[in-house]
Structures are given as C-alpha cells and as structure tokens.
Structure 1
Amino acid sequence: MEKRVPQILIIYTGGTIGMVKDYKTNALKPFDFENLKTKIPELNLLECSLKTTAFEQPIDSSDMSPDYWITIAEIIELNYKDTDGFVVLTGTDTMSYTASAMSFILENLRKPVIFTGSQLPIGDLRTDAKENLITAIQVASAFENGEPVVQEVGLYFEYKLYRANRTTKVSAEQFEAFQSPNYPNLGESGVHLLFNRQFLKRSKSELPLKIQKNLDANVVILKLFPGIQRGLVEYILNFPDLHGVVLETYGAGNAPTDSWFFEILIKTIQRGIPIVNVTQCISGGVFMGLYETSTRMKSIGVINGKNITTESAVAKLKLMLGLKIPSTEFKQKFETQIRGEMS
C-alpha cells in the first residue's frame, strides 16, 4: 500500500519570518513564498506536499485585527477538504491573540492548524525562522493510524509545541519568545519530534468544520495598578459602545477595596456588560473567594477567568458576545472551557 503524502498549506499573513534582507540596501523585503523550496532546500526532505498562499498585502503584527482573523479562517475553510494540515505564519507580537482567536473561531476542527513565526528574518545569518517553519510543517504533517496527531490549533516556537490558546509572548529578544505557563507543552523537537499525547485535544465531533464569523470588536482590557483613579475607570467602563471587559487584577484575582470601584463594576454589570476577572501574573490564575476583595467580586457577578490568558480571554469574549449568548447564561458558559483554554 502506497504511503499517504499529507497535503500542507502554508498561509503567510506577514511578520518577520517572511522578510529577507536586501544586502545592497540593507533593507528588509518580503520573501518569495512561491519559490519556497528553492530558498529552503531542506523542505524537499519533508514527507509532505506543500502549497502556499499569502495575504495580497502582508501586514505587520501590530496591524492584526479580528477582520484578518476571519480572513485566515476563511482560507482554512476554503481549503479544508483537500488539505491535511495548515501552517500559519504571522508576526510574533500578536501571535498569541491571533492563534487563541483561531481556536475559538474554528469549530469542530479535526486537523492541525499550527502557528509559527520568528524573531529574526528568514534571510538572516542567525535566523530562527528555518527551524520554526520546518518543524511546524512536520507537526502539521504528522499522522498516525490515518489520523493527524494534532487536531487543534497549536503554536510552535523554538523547539516547543504549545496549545495556542494557552500561550503568551514573554520575550522580545530571546528565541524562546513564548510560554504556556498553565498547560504542559504538546510536544518538543530535539533529535526526534516527540508529542505529549496525553495533553493533546482529541475531537469527538463528526460535524463538519464551521467558522464563527460574528466577533464583537467592542471589548476592552482594563489593567489595574496602584493608585488607579475613579475618573479613569468610569471613563473606560462608561464608553457608549462597550460590550465586554477583561479586568486584569492582582494575584489570585484581587482588586482595590474602595467602594467607588465596586459601585462602577456593579453598574457596568447591570448594563449587561460582562466583566471577566483574569490575573496579571504570568502563571497561576484567579481564585475568587480566596480573599475578601475577590469574594466581593464573585458576589456581584464578575466572571471567574480561572487560569485563562488575557489573550485567550479577549478572543473568547469577542466570540461569545458575537454569538449573542443571553446574559443569564453568559457567566456559566464563559467559565466552562470549550477549547481547552482553561482548567
């Protein structure tokens, strides 16, 4: 029996990984992904068939938005039937936001969608781009017993594969730019590519892929800091078109005890605006009820974000608001994991 060759689609949106240096001018210019195997001959050693597509105008990571998230999802939807795995190349600065969002947008996903990028351009002497790209393709093309090993949205960077919606960028300088503080790595690349199968998400759904296109853009992140003023909090939470709040609190979910602060939160919730409590800490999560301040927040209906990342909380909030979930069910549904984003 002839061995099946996985069909992999590389989607380039922009970012450092897709840049090469013009050594005459020293300026960076977009990489020609149409001739990928010519530029990176190592790709010829991979046991898969590669196709590439790119945004007509590659975008900087800082310009990433929900509209672009939908564009990526639509490319995946369009090619889903004839493609076994996807590698999405984006800028690293907003990669955790985009990859987290993709995990929520793609419903009933049963194929790998692996995000990667690089800290240095692909043409740089010391670039991390080649290894990240090659191994991300290997991850996307890994099959076992006729099924893809990975059946979720992942993020591969510097020898580690993570669940995308558990990641956060922790360094602007080191090659180890990402971490998954509250969930184990899904795999590691060394001499061999090894998967931690007990942590991989397996889809039980036989339903076809569905993409959720209705995302609500009117969400804000409010980060607490010592001395935060009433006027600032009121100004942000009284914004006319505000539909959802990710509140970054201290430690295990604590906030100032000032009565004005809770008055504003109560009025916001009474207006039907959900407030999600997440921790500012890199690891750990919210434990509402551990201290008096978080007990009070729990009593007024603030949503417990548990150990979800801020990036994932923003994406999930946008999705759930877009689905028009009734306010009576919203809190319970947000506090329930749907894509392995919290525990």
Structure 2
Amino acid sequence: MIKQPHILLIYTGGTIGMVKDIDTGALKAFDFNSLLTKIPELRLLDCSIETISFEEPIDSSNMCPKYWGDIATIIGDNYLDFDGFVVLHGSDTMSYTASALSFMLENLAKPVILTGSQLPIGDLRTDAKENLITSIQMASLQIEGKPVIREVGLYFEYKLYRGNRTTKINAEHFEAFESLNYPHLAESGVHLKVNKEHLWKPKPNKKLILRTRMDTHIGVLKLFPGISRPICEAILTSKLIKGLIIETYGSGNATTEAWFVKLLADAITNGLHIVNVTQCAGGRVNMGQYETSSQLKLIGVISGSDITTEAAIAKLMYLLGENIPRNNFKTIFETSLRGEMS
C-alpha cells in the first residue's frame, strides 16, 4: 500500500501569512499552528501536513543569503522525513529565493515549491488559498510512490514554473510571475496538467548536499545611453567586487566606446568575473551576433545566455562561494547546472 504524501509547510513571511484584524483593519501574522482551522479545505487534500515558521516572519524585501541558508537547512534537516516542501514567501523577492535554493539544494529529488499571494489570506478576494492549496497538491503529486516534481518550483495563479526561470512582472495583478524563456511545468485547471517533458530530471540515487556558502561581493550594472565613465570606473576598478553582472541591450550588446571596453578588459585581467545578461524580459545573449557585442566576447565576458538576472545573481554568489578556480569559472557559469539556462 502506497503511503499518503507527507508535506512540510515552511512559512518565512510575506503577504500570504497575514490576516486582517476585523476591528482595527491592521494586518497581523497568521498563526500557522491553526492552519487547518482557518483553511478547512486542506483537510480534503490527500496528504498529511506539518508546519514550521520562522521565529520572526520577515518581509521579503529583507530576504538575504542568510535566510536562504535557513530555508535550505530546514529542508535538509527534514529531507528524509517528508515527501515534499512548500515554502510560503513574500512575492517581491521570491524569484531570487527560488533561484538561490535551486543552487543550494544539490541533487534535490523532491518538490520544493515556493508560493505566496498578492492579497492576505484573510482578505475576501484573496489569491492566497488557491495558491497554497494547489502548491501543496503539486508537492504531493506522485507516481508509484515517487514524486513527480523533483526540483525547486514557483507556483502562482494557476501555473507552476521552474523557480530559477521566473521573474516578477506585476505588482498588482494576481498573475505576478512569468517564465519567458522556459515553458511552465504544470497548470491548474479542472485537472492538474503536468508538462512532463519540461520537468528537471535529477541524477538518480544521489544524496542531497547543501551548498549554503554564498559570496555577496557582487554587483549589477544596468547599461543605459549616456552611462557615466566615472561611475563605470568606480565599479569596475573596485577591489570589493569579485563578480559583476552587466545588463546589456538586446542580444547582449553594449557601447563600443574604447574607454568602456578597456575598463571591462582590464577588470577581467585583474580577476573580475563579468557576466553578460540581457535587460530584455525575454530572449538571450548571443555575443558576436552584432559588432557591438563581438568585442565583449573577445575580452572574455561570460555569456549569461537566457538566464534571468535573479538566477544570474544567485549563480554568481553560489560559484564564488564554492571557490571555483578562475580558469574553470567561465565554463561552469556558461553550463546549465539546475536548468537555469538553455
């Protein structure tokens, strides 16, 4: 007999965990120990649920690698006792956390699904209940006692996405997230439809390894017409930065001004890892397609391909934290490690 899936719900903070005080109208943190009382629909799910909450729930604007490590550690400590994990998280930085967890949880072979909401769980029109219930259902999906989803996902408004492919695109609509460079993994309608061909397939029988060392000595430079030479010099000659993401135009294009190219080349020679990511919402970097990016390729700028800025930040922190040798760094970054790039 196949046992009922056992799901761990991890509450970190965010709008989804708030209820409105009827008398004062103020929002306060939800007591997740009374989850089944507040959301009786959860009793209808074919799984058992336990909950863990951060001692002090945090706004996702305060999310940082320390908290990413806390979430990863909770999952690691409970990995053998549960069949799936649902992380409740504020939506503003959810894509960053989903990306970071995908790198931190090496050899992950169970579902870790992040979700949240645009309206508090106690609001009359809330999207929190549907997001929560379906995320738990997604984490509970099994075939012959084995999980269907075996990666870090992000569920929001009827769609499950690969977490490290997502970007928050809207602060007001219920459809807050999109994965523009990779198809969604599953969709919730009358039935749960899973796009099995797009699911991550981890190496079999590998032990989960936590990789929580994240080096935050990185920066992001978004190019724009008229960008100042002194500002670029201050960033590219800084001794504090080990890795820099440059958000370029279109398919990876940048100004061909001699001073700019020389600054990049000198910085790379001095050991700075520079990653080229497009500032377009969708599409990919293709250095060398145009003259305005061929020089970047020649001087050794790393191609981010179709990675999101959020995933590029997490991957850069992760690889720097793992002390990847300089001569291997470019090759490893340009390789898809967790399905974060094509």
**TM-score bracket relative to the smaller structure:** over 0.9
Structure 1 residue 229 corresponds to structure 2 residue 259 = no
- Deviation, 1:205, is 3.4
Matches within 5 A, 1:9-20: 9-20=8-19
- Deviation, 1:97, is 0.3
Any idea what SS the aligned residue of 1:247 has?
A: strand
Match of 2:294 in 1: 295
Matches within 5 A, 1:1-343: 1=1, 3-343=2-342
- Scaled by the length of structure 1, the TM-score of the pair is 0.99
Please give the root-mean-square deviation of Cα atoms over the aligned residues, in Å.
0.7
Provide the rounded CA distance (Å) in 2 between the counterparts of 1:138 and 1:102. Answer: 20
- Deviation, 1:190, is 0.2
Provide the rounded CA distance (Å) in 1 between the counterparts of 2:84 and 2:270. Answer: 43
Provide the rounded CA distance (Å) in 1 between the counterparts of 2:93 and 2:236. Answer: 24
- Deviation, 1:237, is 2.0
Task: Kindly provide the CA deviation profile for residues 159-185 of structure 1, in whole angstroms up to 9, marking residues without a partner as x.
Answer: 000000000000000000000000001
Letter in 1 for 2:242: H
Task: Kindly provide the CA deviation profile for residues 34-58 of structure 1, in whole angstroms up to 9, marking residues without a partner as x.
Answer: 0101000000000000000011010
Moved more, 3-12 or 147-156: 3-12
Provide the rounded CA distance (Å) in 2 between the counterparts of 1:332 and 1:319. Answer: 15
Any idea what SS the aligned residue of 1:35 has?
A: helix
Identical-pair percentage:
62
Letter in 2 for 1:176: E
Letter in 2 for 1:292: E
Provide the rounded CA distance (Å) in 1 between the counterparts of 2:218 and 2:91. Answer: 22
- Deviation, 1:112, is 0.2
Task: Kindly provide the CA deviation profile for residues 49-83 of structure 1, in whole angstroms up to 9, marking residues without a partner as x.
Answer: 00000110100010000010000000000000101
- Deviation, 1:271, is 1.5
- Deviation, 1:202, is 1.4
Task: Kindly provide the CA deviation profile for residues 114-134 of structure 1, in whole angstroms up to 9, marking residues without a partner as x.
Answer: 000000000001100000000
Provide the rounded CA distance (Å) in 2 between the counterparts of 1:205 and 1:144. Answer: 16
Any idea what SS the aligned residue of 1:87 has?
A: strand
Any idea what SS the aligned residue of 1:241 has?
A: coil
Provide the rounded CA distance (Å) in 1 between the counterparts of 2:73 and 2:322. Answer: 18
- Deviation, 1:240, is 2.2
5+ residue gaps, structure 1: none
- Deviation, 1:241, is 1.3
Task: Kindly provide the CA deviation profile for residues 179-229 of structure 1, in whole angstroms up to 9, marking residues without a partner as x.
Answer: 000000100000011100000011123221001021101111110111100
Any idea what SS the aligned residue of 1:130 has?
A: helix
Provide the rounded CA distance (Å) in 2 between the counterparts of 1:236 and 1:35. Answer: 49
Provide the rounded CA distance (Å) in 2 between the counterparts of 1:294 and 1:264. Answer: 15
5+ residue gaps, structure 2: none
Any idea what SS the aligned residue of 2:73 has?
A: helix
Any idea what SS the aligned residue of 1:234 has?
A: helix
Provide the rounded CA distance (Å) in 1 between the counterparts of 2:62 and 2:157. Answer: 24
Letter in 2 for 1:274: H
Provide the rounded CA distance (Å) in 2 between the counterparts of 1:206 and 1:268. Answer: 42
Any idea what SS the aligned residue of 1:154 has?
A: strand
Letter in 1 for 2:207: P
Task: Kindly provide the CA deviation profile for residues 5-39 of structure 1, in whole angstroms up to 9, marking residues without a partner as x.
Answer: 11100000000000000121111000010010100
Task: Kindly provide the CA deviation profile for residues 319-343 of structure 1, in whole angstroms up to 9, marking residues without a partner as x.
Answer: 0011111111111111010100101
